Structures are given as C-alpha cells and as structure tokens.
Amino acid sequence: MKTCTWHIIVFFIFATQAIAADSPIKWAFDPWAPLHQQDRAGKTEGLLVDIIKAVLTDEMGIQVEYNQLPWNRCQALVKNGVLDLLVTVATKERLEYAVKSKKAVYLLKNKIYTYVNHPRLEEIKKIKTLEDIIKGKFKVISYLGNGWFKQTTEKTAVDAIYVRDYNSVLRMLAQRGGDITIDSEPSTNSYIHKLGLNDRIVNTQADIGVLGFTKLHLLISKKSSHAGIMQRFDDAFEKLEKNGTLKLLIHNHAKKFK
C-alpha cells in the first residue's frame, strides 16, 4: 500500500510539472517604463520583459502571458493565485505568499529627486543616510504598494507621504507637495519626460546607503502551478548570466537611454 501511495505521489508531482510546462505563466505588472510596459496595441516591451523572456521562454520553453494592471491589484492577484508571478522586491510580506529566485534578476540604482529651485537643494545633494533625511526633516513622497521603501523606512522616523501611483508622486513633487522622492533612475527619468516635468524636477545625483539600490527578484505565487519551477529558473538564469546573454541585453537597453 505504501509503495502504491508513493507511486501516486511521484505521478502527481510529474503530472503537475508537465501541466505547468505546457501552460503559460501569467506575469502581473504595472506600467513601469523602460523596464516593462504595454502599449495600446497590447505589445509588451522593456528590459525586464526581455530578461524574463530570455530565461523563461527561450531557455526553459515556458510561454509568458502579460497582464498590465494597477500595482496593488497585481500583488493581490498573485497573492491569491489568480496570476503567477511578479518581478519586484522580495519583501517579508510578499514572501509570505510567494517563492523568490535565488538571485536578483536586475539591480536598480536609485537617486534622490527634488523640485527645481528647492531652497535646500545643496543640503539634499549631501544626503547619504536615512538619518540625514530624518534630521533634515525632509518630507519624502512615495506611492502605495512601494514595498521596498516601506520595509526600509516603516520603523524609522522618516516623514513619508503615500499617494496613489508614481505619476502622482512626480506631479506632487513638481507642485512642491514634498521635498524629495527616491527611486530608480531609468524609470523616474522616463516618467518625468513622459509627464513633461523636465523643467520642474531635478535629479540631484544623491544616493543613499540602504535605499541606493533595489534588488528585483522573480516571485512566483505559492498557489501557482508553476511554483515548482524556481530551481530550474535559477539554473537557467545562472547559465545566461555566465554566457553573457543577460549582460548583452542590459547593454543594448542602456544604449537606448543614454
């Protein structure tokens, strides 16, 4: 009886893996140019799109279904197992409902932005730590669902304002509703240009220790039929990292935004 039960378990495991391999993996993301975005025609593009496609589709043979949605909804749908994956920061809250890749799939460099002609611009340029923000009583604008920022600052005295989305962050900063925002250069620069705020918001080039970099991991819902592929993903990612495929993708995208 025990042997029969064991055979059933083994069959179930392989059957589940086969089903997962044949079905597309459903990626939930919000518009975040130039990392990932979907145009009106439904075409999805961006650096992270190319990285995930190279590993999951080209290397592992798993097709990706793209679902562009508001960020809070993305997280809720992955948490509930309706959609399969996120590419984001592996916060403690997210790891309660998802498994993460061994390595970060991409490392974002963050900078501090403020509005043009801020009276304390020179002080802002010298910010190096969270303590500098707290001591300077600078008001930081962020957005709902920004897990990496919340996890890093929630137990500190940082004065933070949370608004609906990243467009709202930049509009509020341009209107001097806060002192600074901290986020990745590629996406922030792209959004500033898209919103026509180039003459109203400035990149101070200041970065800050624990908030200086954002590690983006592949997260798969524990309720997903694809939850068991993570080791394969890690192996495939490491292979493409070693053979230079990922480095070339990143280099080609970087040239577009110089």
pLDDT, tens digit, for every residue of 39-73?
888 899 999 999 999 999 999 999 999 999 999 99
> What is the pLDDT averaged over residues 219-232?
98
Query: Which residues neighbour 85 within 8 Å (Cβ) at sequence distance 6 or greater?
Result: 25, 26, 27, 28, 78, 218, 219, 220, 221, 224, 226
Are the beta carbons of 156 and 208 closer than 8 angstroms?
A: no
pLDDT of residue 253: 85
pLDDT of residue 207: 82
> What is the pLDDT averaged over residues 219-245?
98
Supply the DSSP string of 160-214, one letter for each residue: EEEESSHHHHHHHHHTTSSSEEEEEHHHHHHHHHHTT-TTTEEE-----GGGSEE
pLDDT, tens digit, for every residue of 95-116?
999 999 999 999 998 999 999 9
- Which of the four pLDDT bands, split at 50, 70 and 90, describes residue 10? very low
> What is the pLDDT averaged over residues 159-177?
96
- Which of the four pLDDT bands, split at 50, 70 and 90, describes residue 148? confident
CATH fold label, 108-213: D-Maltodextrin-Binding Protein; domain 2 (3.40.190)
- CATH for the stretch 2-106+215-256: 3.40.190.10
Nearest to 219 by CA among 110, 108, 109, 77: 77
Same fold, 2-106+215-256 and 108-213: yes
pLDDT, tens digit, for every residue of 180-205?
999 998 899 999 999 999 999 999 99
Sorted by where each begins, the domain ranges of the chain are: 2-106+215-256, 108-213
The mean predicted confidence, pLDDT, of the chain is: 90
